[in-house]
């Protein structure tokens, strides 16, 4: 999803609603958690073969960044946390 698509969807909603994001709980019952969005930031991401998903670049793993950055910055995303 692109930022402009998210903005369009949010414009149709009640502006007084809280914003949460869904995340798996990894519990026995397979519940989905609703985690409140507290922060929005731009971040770089890389694909993790181990996780089979994208992961955010942090100070702890930024050595991986140099080899995996796309020339067109397509791996810069908006992170909700």
Tokens of 50: 């181990």
What is the spatial distance between Cα 9 and Cα 7, in angstroms, rounded to a whole number?
5
22 bridge partner residues: 34
User: Quick one: which of 53, 39, 41 has its CA closest to 3?
Assistant: 41
Q: Which domain holds residue 51?
A: 3-80
Q: Cβ distance 47 to 5 under 8 Å?
A: no
Number of domains in the chain: 1
Stated pTM of the model: 0.64
Per-residue pLDDT for the chain (81 aa), expressed as one digit of tens each?
889 999 999 999 999 999 999 999 999 999 999 999 998 888 888 888 898 988 888 766 555 555 555 555 557 777 776
Q: What is the pLDDT of residue 33?
A: 96
- What whole-number distance in Å separates Cα of residue 28 and Cα of residue 26? 7
């Amino acid at each position: 999803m692109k930022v402009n698509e998210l903005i369009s969807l949010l414009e149709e909603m009640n502006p007084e609603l809280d914003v949460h994001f869904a995340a798996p709980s990894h519990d026995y019952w397979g519940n989905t958690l609703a985690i409140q969005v507290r922060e929005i930031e731009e971040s770089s991401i890389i694909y993790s073969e181990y996780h089979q998903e994208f992961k955010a670049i942090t100070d702890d793993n930024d050595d991986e960044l140099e080899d995996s950055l796309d020339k067109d910055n397509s791996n810069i995303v908006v992170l909700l946390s």
